[in-house]
Structure 1
Amino acid sequence: MKNRFSSAILFLLAISAPALAQESAQKTPRGITIDDFFQIRDVSQPEISPDGQWIAYAVRTRILKEDKNEQRLWMIATHGGEAIPMTAESVSSSHPSWSPDGKYLSFLSARDGGKSQVWLLDRRGGEAVRLTDTVQGVDDFEWSPDSTRLVLILRDPKPEDIEAAKNREKPAPATPPRPRTPPPLVIDRLQFKRDTVGYLDRRRAHLYEFNVSAKTTTQITSGDFDDSEPAWSPDGRLLAFSSNRTSDADANYKSHIWVVAADNADKGARLTQLTPDPGSDSAPAWSRDGKWIAYVTELDPHLFYYNTRHLAVVPATGGQPNVLTRAFDRSVRRLRFSSDSKYIYFTAEDDGMQNLCRIPVGGGEITRPIGGRLAVGTYSLSKDDSIAAQISTIDRPDEIFYLLNGAGEPTRLTKTNDGLFAELRLAHADYVHFKSKDGTNVAGYLYKPLDYTPGKKVPTLLNPHGGPVGQYAAAFYHLAQLYAANGYAVLLPNPRGSSGYGQKFCAAIYADWGNKDYQDDVAMVDYAVAQGIADPDRLGVGGWSYGGISTDFIIAQTQRFKAAISGAGVALIASFYGHDHYQRDYDIELGHPWDNKAVWDRISPFYRVASITTPTLFMGGDIDWNVPILGSEQMYEAMKTLGRTTELVVYPGEYHGFTIPTHIKDRMERFMAWYNHYVKGDSASARPPEQTATASKPVD
């Protein structure tokens, strides 16, 4: 494939590479810094072209100077070579997808101040061309097998979207209209909030068929339900998708796999439910011979996200599903069929790793085409079962790897972050095992500081992970490396509640937070002390989300930590009911707070705040509806009332996961200042230097 930028780029790389290599060789490797985080490029979304010759992928850049994020699409040959930029700078693009005939690389992008639309790049050359022009923007899309159609996921448009579309065709008024006061929000749903979205209304996401040549759109599904994850049948006649179409969808997780005709004109009046109750079922994938549909299923509705997510298959014409991974007891994701339809590929969390696995359609032995202590993210399969995969390791962020014919060892193709990492010296991390108080075997990652001398006791930070369902995997973690570069040992435990160790281990904290997971977290501290690594007089703890909740529970039960940082945590759990977006989860796991007050109170760190003497920094985003700032405010106010050392930092315009580069930098600077002051005992302020001068009064 020709690209008008490629010749110039290859020339510049050719003449600059020797000079860069010489300069890099002359530099002494150094420890990682806060600013290095903004030099790391996030590589993701590999997609192999239909001819198997190219891999398109996305690269995200955090631009600190302009305080924004950008994502560009790139392409690299499967036989290696230099990467070629496919989309322009200054605009973000995502979801690279090849048309099955190989003519186009398509993607989503919101350009010129418009909504997110599908764009096309012709492989024969030329600029990107907008394909769709929907008033509400495109949430997602998939190509039909014959490349003549797309299935779009569109949310019902707002009245103002329709009005704006009409006004585009009218001449601009001489006098701009006066801004209207927003109307009141009228809420009538049980589930009425979502982080990054805000208040929910009755506008729903449905499937639409888009004709590429005619540029016409036909609605396929409708109703007071959300439809997602569409997958085309190989003959292009049918679409499988996931949807919770129960009458009380806001109160349960009973999503199922449905099948509908792709040319359906009655907006979903004729649907076939393919999977049985109770659910929850998701992520359908069609076998290439059209005989099977694979999907992800949960077997115990009572456990919802504590469930192991199993791989199941069902005949495409209907019938009894077969759960293939019962004995495996590990959660699976990202299902893909082999070219001969005899195997199903998937990623699975397992023992602090995330591997690419494969199992026969009829069940049997699970093999790992890409295994080991690494983390496989998204991946793509070609027609000969070659694999393009996004892979991270403990010492490297994600890059794109290629595995020819799905056998042997994967080859790394991209070198996106090589220039930066050639300058860095990283801390060593060990995957260690230890026993909790009750004898339970637990594991986690232990980072020793740079220049660690065996037998020397060092300041140590415990960093509980979020979730609680999730795990620390064998992936690059900048924050752990940052702490280690500043002289700390770092503990990343996978306590009970974590995924990757089976359903019983995961569900052990069901309606019992801050108990067994607390025991497991502090057991890793005990292990590090016993190994002669952690200095018991210089310990810190901190985490975000459930990691913040864990931090609150930990410091309420022990005074051994010299400092704590609790990000996006909770306090009085009952006060979150109807305030965050977990109403459905609370009802299932805890019951109603007015019926089960004792359960709600037991898992509320707020009632233990009088026991906390650890200097604690509380943080959060002011528009976080996942774990609202309310929890941090309550804990801060209580500790302040008690006369304890504490501080609250609220970041404007931030959801649960921070995105604004300057806020991310500020947060890391505060992490370091707080720990250095209270754990190491440094004389410098517990606030970053540039913040100290403007502070209203000292922290101490």
Structure 2
Amino acid sequence: MYKNIFNLLISFFLSIPILGFAQLSVEEHLGMENLDNPKIFESSILFAKKTKDVWNGKSFSSIIISDLNGENQIKLTENEYDYDPKWSKDGKWISFISYRNNLQQIYTIPKLGGEPKLVSDAQNYISNYRWLNEKTIAYVDDEPRDSTLVATEAINGGGYQVGTEFYTNALWTYNIDSGTKKKITDGSFRIIDLDVSEDGKNLAVLAAKNYDTYESITNNWVEVIKIQSGNPIYKFNDANSLSNPKFSPSGKLLAFVGSTEGFASNDGLFIANIESGETENKTYEFDPTIEKIQWIDDKNISFSTPKNGYTGLYNLSIKGKISTIINPYWVIYDFQIINKQIYFIASRSSKIKQLYKLNLGDKPESAFRLTNLNSELHSKIKTTSSIINYVSNDGIEVQGIVTYPIAYDKSKTYALMVIPHGGPDSVVMDDFNWMGQFFADNGYVVFQPNFRGSIGYGRDFYAGNRNAFGHTDFEDIMAGIDELIELKIADKNRLVIGGWSYGGYMANWAITQTDRFKVSISVAGVSNLVSLYGQHEFSNRKVGLWEYKALPIDNVENYRKASPIFLVKNVKTPLLILHGANDTRSPSLQAWEMYRAMKDANKDVEMIIYPRAGHNISNPIQFKSVLNKWLNWADNHIEKK
């Protein structure tokens, strides 16, 4: 996102203050209703609604149908796990995936309601499906990884060969009248996503090798298969992290998304002529981070991308011209355009996620809300947030989200909670941001910077911290803090840093570089990038060359120079480490290494390990503990008022 730098040393603006999320308990946050998968057919809209009773370990999901104004909503199903609703080709039936009787299968139900009917014959676990015609469904039948290991254990008498274990799956078609099924692929590769042409003759699959966890991102491909013969007629793998294969209405073109820089830039919207094989990236100059795509007709395709804290929605003609459909105002998670109207799921910091509709050409803020989820929580929304733009030490423009406490007083300065995001292939948006609002509700100004390495600001910005972890990104964070101090928002003597995953790494790293923070909290963070290469589930040669520009066996210094563990003697800040025992993304060994090093250096450190917890520490009781210990550690080391 390298723009012209203003003559002023710092450029900063606060958007019109908007209400944010506050006074919601952890229980209320975890139990919030959610919705996804909006699907429109003629005069009806279909979506899935999810509700959780987290403290009793239960969840419920429903398939809902309503008219296009959101009225006359009818709950078609309610089960522990119903999702991914789709219309049959003739619109008479609604299909969905449901977990029942220890199997994940496809069920159908009449449009007007009735008893769900099982219409698939999967042996294991259906992960994806499409209607081919009124009577036939194509689906992917997964075999859980554990069963593969169990089978290997039985055959080999113990253990499995690393590099050969994998998830297997296969593509099948199933006739719902006759019950006949046909296997289309042989399971020699893993199908991640699929789409079907309008005439039901071709399938587009996103596929990858089976054996490596990260192969599905770093080395996948798009392939078009003739359903009748099972033969491939098109294949593309000349970009990283391919996703979202979508046939044009005629079935002659195929669109998909890929990264030309790294593995998460998602800057390429590729259009392929299936017959000729000609494939072209149509968005390279626009340099977006593409999230969702949808064909409007054979000559136009729409896509969404993060833009300055919100989501922009754009139209791409197949000739390459890009125009705006919706200016950035909402944070949009999913959308569908039909009959000159846009139906989308979105939120803002003041507005909980809902389903909206908007006439093409209307201002985004005039969107009509179709759902009213979590209505009992709306009155608890009381804090404010804004977007800050500033310039880092080397002249690069950076952006972040600032959330203010309830009854924020501009005449006062506040304790600042700095929360770097995870990834770093991620971005903080001005949406319904529960973590920022949780700490703001407890008296902090919260700063969530989109430092170099974040997505949504172009390829160069995304690549800006590669082989510079803890350097350019750290400088961007500190420049934002200085700006908030200069603006008399933050108190320079009451600075806290805490983060999760890459944010946890940054919390570890920051206190080796400066003593300005009074306290630090690292959740699921890493500390030793040398050892991480051999521990991380995503590590491989391709990733190492991208992230560090070298492999450890060739240039270990590139890993060592960004590892907090080797600099703990510099630390003067108390550190709290919180980590899941079963974390495979940031293995708990990383927490132990940092803890041991801090102890050996006689530094102030405490560590909590959560049994059975993974990277997200998703058990609600453990998750609540993480937030409370984070908050208490900060509160005990500073005065907020």
Same structural fold, with TM-score higher than 0.5 when normalized by the shorter chain: yes
Q: Distance in 2 between matches of 1:406 and 1:115?
A: 45
Task: Give the secondary structure class of the aligned counterpart of 2:78.
Answer: coil
Q: Distance in 1 between matches of 2:327 and 2:159?
A: 50
Superposition map of 1:616-695 within 5 A: 616-680=575-639
1:533 equivalent to 2:489? Answer yes
CA contact 1:47–1:379 (8 Å) conserved in 2: no
1:110 equivalent to 2:122? Answer no
Pick aligned residue for 2:435 from 462, 469, 479: 479
Superposition map of 1:534-613 within 5 A: 534-584=490-540, 585-590=543-548, 591-613=550-572
Shift in Å, 1:405: 6.1
- What are the Cα deviations for residues 511-560 of structure 1, in whole angstroms up to 9, with x where unaligned? 21000000001111111111111111111111111111111111111111
Superposition map of 1:267-666 within 5 A: 268=230, 270-275=231-236, 277=238, 279-300=240-261, 303-305=262-264, 307-338=265-296, 340-368=297-325, 370-382=326-338, 384-404=339-359, 409-422=366-379, 424-584=380-540, 585-590=543-548, 591-666=550-625
Which residue of structure 2 lines up, in the alignment, with residue 698 of structure 1? none
Q: Distance in 1 between matches of 2:512 and 2:150?
A: 54
CA contact 2:416–2:447 (8 Å) conserved in 1: yes
Task: Give the secondary structure class of the aligned counterpart of 1:392.
Answer: strand
CA contact 1:63–1:661 (8 Å) conserved in 2: no
Which residue of structure 2 lines up, in the alignment, with residue 148 of structure 1? 135
CA contact 1:39–1:420 (8 Å) conserved in 2: no
CA contact 2:226–2:233 (8 Å) conserved in 1: no
Q: 1:250 to 1:558 in 2, by over 3 A?
A: closer
Which residue of structure 2 lines up, in the alignment, with residue 212 of structure 1? 176
Which amino acid letter does the alignment assign opposite residue 347 of structure 2? Answer: S
Task: Give the secondary structure class of the aligned counterpart of 1:328.
Answer: coil
Shift in Å, 1:463: 0.4
Q: Distance in 1 between matches of 2:497 and 2:149?
A: 50
Task: Give the secondary structure class of the aligned counterpart of 2:401.
Answer: strand
Pick aligned residue for 2:218 from 229, 253, 262: 253
Q: Distance in 1 between matches of 2:613 and 2:340?
A: 41
- What are the Cα deviations for residues 579-631 of structure 1, in whole angstroms up to 9, with x where unaligned? 22122222543332122111111121111122222111111222221111221
Pick aligned residue for 2:185 from 215, 221, 234: 221
Q: Distance in 1 between matches of 2:578 and 2:155?
A: 32
Pick aligned residue for 2:112 from 124, 135, 141: 124
CA contact 1:47–1:388 (8 Å) conserved in 2: no
Larger CA deviation: 78-87 vs 212-221? 78-87
Task: Give the secondary structure class of the aligned counterpart of 2:517.
Answer: coil
1:234 equivalent to 2:203? Answer no
Task: Give the secondary structure class of the aligned counterpart of 1:653.
Answer: coil
Q: Distance in 2 between matches of 1:47 and 1:224?
A: 32
Shift in Å, 1:182: 11
Q: Distance in 2 between matches of 1:479 and 1:158?
A: 33
Q: Which has the larger radius of gyration?
A: 1
Shift in Å, 1:222: 2.4
Shift in Å, 1:681: 7.1
Q: 1:279 to 1:478 in 2, by over 3 A?
A: closer
Q: Distance in 1 between matches of 2:507 and 2:211?
A: 39
Which amino acid letter does the alignment assign opposite residue 358 of structure 2? Answer: L
Task: Give the secondary structure class of the aligned counterpart of 1:678.
Answer: coil
Which residue of structure 2 lines up, in the alignment, with residue 13 of structure 1? none
Which ranges of structure 2 fall in alignment gaps of 5 or more residues?
1-20
Q: Distance in 2 between matches of 1:216 and 1:406?
A: 47
Q: Distance in 2 between matches of 1:279 and 1:157?
A: 26
Superposition map of 1:158-177 within 5 A: none
CA contact 2:347–2:432 (8 Å) conserved in 1: yes
Q: Distance in 2 between matches of 1:387 and 1:429?
A: 27
Task: Give the secondary structure class of the aligned counterpart of 1:332.
Answer: coil
Q: Distance in 2 between matches of 1:151 and 1:465?
A: 38
Which amino acid letter does the alignment assign opposite residue 185 of structure 1? Answer: G
Which ranges of structure 1 fall in alignment gaps of 5 or more residues?
1-28, 165-179, 193-200, 683-700
Q: Distance in 1 between matches of 2:381 and 2:375?
A: 13
CA contact 2:421–2:499 (8 Å) conserved in 1: yes
Q: Distance in 1 between matches of 2:212 and 2:22?
A: 56
Q: Distance in 2 between matches of 1:163 and 1:216?
A: 30
Q: Distance in 1 between matches of 2:443 and 2:155?
A: 54
CA contact 1:528–1:534 (8 Å) conserved in 2: yes
Shift in Å, 1:181: 13
CA contact 1:463–1:491 (8 Å) conserved in 2: yes
Shift in Å, 1:466: 0.7
Which amino acid letter does the alignment assign opposite residue 119 of structure 1? Answer: Y
Q: Distance in 1 between matches of 2:237 and 2:276?
A: 10
Which amino acid letter does the alignment assign opposite residue 231 of structure 1? Answer: D
CA contact 1:58–1:94 (8 Å) conserved in 2: yes
Alignment RMSD, CA only?
2.8
Q: Distance in 1 between matches of 2:317 and 2:594?
A: 51
Task: Give the secondary structure class of the aligned counterpart of 2:125.
Answer: coil
- What are the Cα deviations for residues 278-323 of structure 1, in whole angstroms up to 9, with x where unaligned? 55533211110222111112234xx333x34311111121332222
Q: 1:250 to 1:470 in 2, by over 3 A?
A: closer
CA contact 2:581–2:609 (8 Å) conserved in 1: yes
Q: Distance in 2 between matches of 1:159 and 1:633?
A: 28
CA contact 2:511–2:517 (8 Å) conserved in 1: yes
Q: Distance in 2 between matches of 1:426 and 1:403?
A: 27
CA contact 1:254–1:277 (8 Å) conserved in 2: no
Shift in Å, 1:566: 0.6
Q: 1:304 to 1:425 in 2, by over 3 A?
A: closer
In the superposition, the TM-score normalised over structure 1's length comes to 0.82
Shift in Å, 1:656: 1.8
Q: Distance in 1 between matches of 2:72 and 2:430?
A: 27
CA contact 2:167–2:211 (8 Å) conserved in 1: no
CA contact 1:55–1:388 (8 Å) conserved in 2: no
Which residue of structure 1 lines up, in the alignment, with residue 16 of structure 2? none
Shift in Å, 1:64: 3.3
Q: Distance in 2 between matches of 1:559 and 1:401?
A: 47
Superposition map of 1:34-53 within 5 A: 34-48=26-40, 50-51=41-42, 53=43
Task: Give the secondary structure class of the aligned counterpart of 2:636.
Answer: helix
Q: Distance in 2 between matches of 1:39 and 1:304?
A: 33
1:64 equivalent to 2:54? Answer yes
Shift in Å, 1:240: 1.2
Q: 1:543 to 1:103 in 2, by over 3 A?
A: same
Shift in Å, 1:671: 2.0
Which residue of structure 2 lines up, in the alignment, with residue 184 of structure 1? 158
Task: Give the secondary structure class of the aligned counterpart of 2:437.
Answer: helix
Q: 1:88 to 1:244 in 2, by over 3 A?
A: closer
Q: Distance in 1 between matches of 2:524 and 2:211?
A: 33
Q: Distance in 2 between matches of 1:101 and 1:349?
A: 35
CA contact 2:341–2:359 (8 Å) conserved in 1: yes
Q: Distance in 2 between matches of 1:54 and 1:163?
A: 46
Which amino acid letter does the alignment assign opposite residue 81 of structure 2? Answer: S
